[in-house]
Amino acid sequence: MESNSIVGHLVAMRNRHSSGTTTSYEWRRQQLVKLKEVLYKHEEDIYAALYSDLKKNKEECWITELGFTIAEINFALKNLRKWMAPKKVGTNLLNFPGKSYILPEPLGVILIISPWNYPLQLLLAPLVGAIAAGNSAVLKPSEFAPATAALLQKIIGDNFDEFYLKLVQGNGAEVIPAMMNAFRFDHVFYTGSTATGKLIYEMAAKNLTPVTLELGGKSPCIIESDADIKVAAKRIALIKFSNAGQMCVAPDYLLVHQSIKGVFIEELIKRIEEYYVTDNYHYGKLINAKAFDRLVAYLQQGTIIYGGKINTGDHSITPALVENITPGASLMKEEIFGPLLPVITWQHDEEVYNIIGQNSNPLALYVFTESEAKAKKWTTTIPFGGGCINNASLHLTNHHLPFGGRGNSGMGVYHGHFSFDTFSHKKGILKNADLV
User: Catalytic residues, which ones?
Assistant: 214, 248
Nearest partner of 398 among 131, 68, 66, 36, judged by Cα: 68
Radius of gyration of the chain (CA): 23
Cα dist. 238→248, 390, 392 in Å? Answer: 15, 13, 9
Measured CA to CA, the distance from residue 330 to residue 3 in angstroms comes to 38
Indicate the Cα dihedral angle 374, 359, 365, 216, nearest 10°.
Answer: 180
Which residue(s) pair with 345 in the sheet?
Answer: 256
215 in Cβ contact with 409 (< 8 Å):
yes
199 in Cβ contact with 180 (< 8 Å):
no
356 in Cβ contact with 220 (< 8 Å):
yes
Strands (E), 116-237: 136-140, 165-167, 187-191, 211-214, 220-223
Is the peptide bond prior to 97 cis by the omega test (within 30 degrees of 0)? yes
Q: Which helix (H) or strand (E) holds 353?
A: helix 349-357
Measured CA to CA, the distance from residue 78 to residue 282 in angstroms comes to 33
410-411 and 316-317: which strand pairing? unpaired
What count of other Cβ atoms lies within 10 Å of the Cβ of residue 57? 16
Measured CA to CA, the distance from residue 50 to residue 147 in angstroms comes to 7
Cα dist. 45→58, 119, 158 in Å? Answer: 11, 14, 15
DSSP-assigned letter for residue 391: S
With a CB cutoff of 8 Å and minimum separation 6, the contacts of 269 are 306, 321
